[in-house]
Amino acid sequence: MKYFKFLNKVPEKTYILIFVAIIILSSFYTYFRIEEAADIEKKIEAKQRDLNRTILLKNMYLSKKRVMEQSVAKPGEEKPLPLSFLEEASAKAFVAGRLAVLKPSAVKEEKVKGQSVFEIKVNGAALGEVIKFVTDVEKERMFVKKLQLNMPAGGQNFVDMFAIITAG
């Protein structure tokens, strides 16, 4: 009861001031907490937008990757070896010409890149046959790196062809 008598001696204005101070402090505390919560909500929304954008980019990447894998290697379709393809293409293209050399080459720069390099030499071919052979090779995603045409001394209607072809 001792404490209650002390409270009776405190003036009424002091209680009102203490009560007002408590209301003001709790209002400031609540205001700053609401501001922090609003900032956190904005950060969450930004992170969700970034996540949605990342998921969209991932889906686009995976779909393009699937398309590329399907276009490069079709499961039912078996690609012929480059050397056998070159032999077939030269046999079809060169009627007048005679295949002199068809062999894998040992060019160091191309081996590092993972490409197969082949040398081909044909004697006495017509220019149209050479053009048909080059277009057939390039349709099979092989590249003619070097093409050398020489006219032999005896026959002016035919050319000798030397080519370096890369595959891979």
Binned at pLDDT 50, 70 and 90, residue 108 comes out as low
The residue ranking higher by pLDDT, 19 or 111, is 19
Model pTM?
0.49
**Cα angle: 33, vertex 39, 41; to 5 degrees:** 100
Binned at pLDDT 50, 70 and 90, residue 10 comes out as confident
Q: Within 13 Å, how many C-alpha atoms sit on residue 56's CB side?
A: 6
In this prediction, residue 37 carries a pLDDT of 95
Mean pLDDT of 4-9: 69
Q: Which residues contact 64 (CB under 8 A, 6 or more apart)?
A: none
Q: Within 13 Å, how many C-alpha atoms sit on residue 19's CB side?
A: 5
Max Cα-Cα span within the chain: 136
- pLDDT tens digits, residue range 146-165? 999 988 776 577 888 999 98
What does the DSSP assignment read for 100-146? EEEEE---HHHHHTT-EEEEEEEEEE-HHHHHHHHHHHHHTTEEEEE
Binned at pLDDT 50, 70 and 90, residue 3 comes out as low
In this prediction, residue 141 carries a pLDDT of 81
